[in-house]
Amino acid sequence: MKKIVFLTLAAAALAGCNRSPEFYFARGNRLYSAGKDSTALESYNKALLLQRNYPEALVSRGMLFERLGDRQKAGLDYRKAIELKPGYLPAYNNLGAMMMDGGNYAEAVRLFTEALDANKDYSYALLNRGLALYKQGDCAAATADLSRALELNPKFEMAYYHRALCARKAKNFSAALADLDAVLAVNPAAALARFERGKALYATSDFGGAAQEFAAVCELQPEDGAAQYWLGLALYKTGYLEGALGAAQNAARLKPGSYQAQGLLGDVYAAGGQAQQAAAAYRRAAELAPKYDSFYKAKLADLTKPAGPARKKRN
């Protein structure tokens, strides 16, 4: 989630006042950015010892506590910053983002709403509230927040991506593809966007285009079993059985507990006339997903059905 920290680097202005809270705050931020967590914490502590009512230092120390895995201390710092300075928006945003990370989306929405009550154009709160609303299943409200966030900051990749997910859910595939294209314009290596773009193309029956997207994901992430499965499915739909088989085998290897991968293997083998291999794959799929036992039994039965009589042409 998007979190905010202000990296005050005005060292020249602080020359000669090395014992000021501002000096220790600025040094803490530099050390935080350099990954020197223990010395950064010492500097934040010194800043707060010299000036207890210092919300900016509390928020920065809260982010450091989060990075160290101490969410309880982080939350205390964020809440203390809000108490000291109710209008300090990064405190609301960071606390809300932490609530989201913990799955408490309702509390996150409340915090982001408080931030937006103070500043309706606070883009990070709009972005994060949109993400929280999406997690709650409210795509209409999420889309409204994400759209406004993008008006304020067109480079929010997560806003495009989640708005695309909402559009795909509503079967508005053209809008979904447009937003996913926007993500890829900013970050061509965004595997998640390519994966979702492949699924949107598949839903519109553009199986060739979908296969290209899934293949790109597999190049970026060779161990992604889901991408291999979808690549196999798209290639199967195009009739390219050799490629579909290779991808399905990869999916089954990477996700040995996937009944979908085994079912796809069965379909590809059956289409290629390899009834014995298809039967083995369908049986394995049924073992992995007993609730679909009858479905795969029907596929097994189809394998053993005798071919119908040849159709004769009348002269």
User: Which domains, ranges and CATH numbers included, belong to the chain?
Assistant: 1-102 (1.25.40.10), 127-188 (1.25.40.10), 190-303 (1.25.40.10)
Amino acid at 224: D
Cα distance between residue 8 and residue 48, in whole Å: 16
Which residues of the chain are under the pLDDT cut of 70?
A: 1-18, 306-315
By residue count, the chain amounts to 315
- Cα 286 from Cα 291, distance rounded (Å): 8
Long-range contacts of 90-93 (CB under 8 A, 24+ apart): 90/3, 90/4, 90/5, 90/6, 90/59, 91/55, 91/58, 91/59, 91/62, 92/118, 92/125, 93/2, 93/3, 93/4, 93/122, 93/124, 93/125, 93/128
Q: What is the pLDDT of residue 19?
A: 78
What single letter denotes the amino acid at residue 122? Y
Instruction: Say what the pLDDT of residue 87 is.
Output: 84
Task: State the pLDDT at residue 18.
Answer: 53
For 188-212, b/e burial (b = at least 16 CB within 10 A) is eebbbbbbbbbbbbbeeebbebbbb
What's the pLDDT score for residue 22?
Answer: 94
Give the pLDDT score at 254. Answer: 97
In angstroms, the CA 144 to CA 121 distance is 13
**Model confidence, pTM:** 0.79
Find, among 92, 85, 87, the residue nearest to 2 by Cα: 92
pLDDT tens digits, one per residue of 128-152? 999 999 999 999 999 999 999 999 9
CA-to-CA distance for 282 and 267, rounded, in angstroms?
8
